[in-house]
Amino acid sequence: MDVQLVVLSFCSLDQQQELDLKIAARTGNVLEVEKMLEHPFDPNVLLHEACWAGQEGVALLLLEAKAEVNLSNSCGQSPLHLATLQGHPALVHLLLDKAADASLADMKGKTAVHLARDRDPRDRDTNSTILRLLEEGSGGRRIRTTASAGSARVSSPSRRGGARRGP
């Protein structure tokens, strides 16, 4: 049996097309995003937009289209950082289910746990839900943070000697 591999490059977009797609992702226009995915288009372009805006349906569609769940933006923020910053617990749960790494730090050295702790204290229920999800979703590893932003550590109780890996 002969197998042929065909590699297609992603479609390039002009500025207006890219803006239209970002608006579709932000507003939860799943049909428009689905239409975009019918063409060879990089789903990573919109995942950050969808996570910032709390658009769980669009994020799920993009992740199913093989968007990279841990890809960082120009500030070093992953989709999990953005969903945490904006207080979207359902999206945090989805990202963790899709293997988002809660130990990743942004350019300021902050993990999603740091961002959850820094959120508005008046949103206590959302913050505690997100923190619980992050702790449970770290694969049994405890995400430890200290006073300085860049000092998060993830340790796994199942590893011998308490080995740690940093962000």
CB < 8 Å & 24+ apart, contacts of 29-33: 29/58, 30/57, 30/58, 30/61, 33/58, 33/61, 33/62
Query: Residue 134: which of 166, 165, 98, 89 has the closest Cα?
Result: 89
What was the pLDDT predicted at 104? Answer: 95
Model pLDDT, residue 3:
62
Number of neighbours of residue 107 by Cβ within 10 angstroms? 12
Domain chopping of the chain, boundaries:
11-68, 69-167
Q: How far apart are CA 55 and CA 60, in angstroms?
A: 9
pLDDT of residue 10: 55
CATH number for the domain formed by residue range(s) 69-167:
1.25.40.20
Is this model's pTM higher than 0.85 or not?
A: no
Six-digit token pair at 52?
Answer: 């910032």
pLDDT tens, per residue, the chain with 167 residues:
666 544 445 556 677 777 787 888 888 888 888 887 777 667 787 899 999 999 999 999 999 988 999 999 999 999 999 999 999 999 999 999 999 999 999 999 999 999 999 998 888 999 999 999 998 875 544 444 433 333 333 333 333 233 333 33
Which uninterrupted H or E stretch holds 165?
strand 164-165
Our CA angle for 138, 108, 61, nearest 5°, is: 50
**Residue entry with tokens 């993990």:** 111
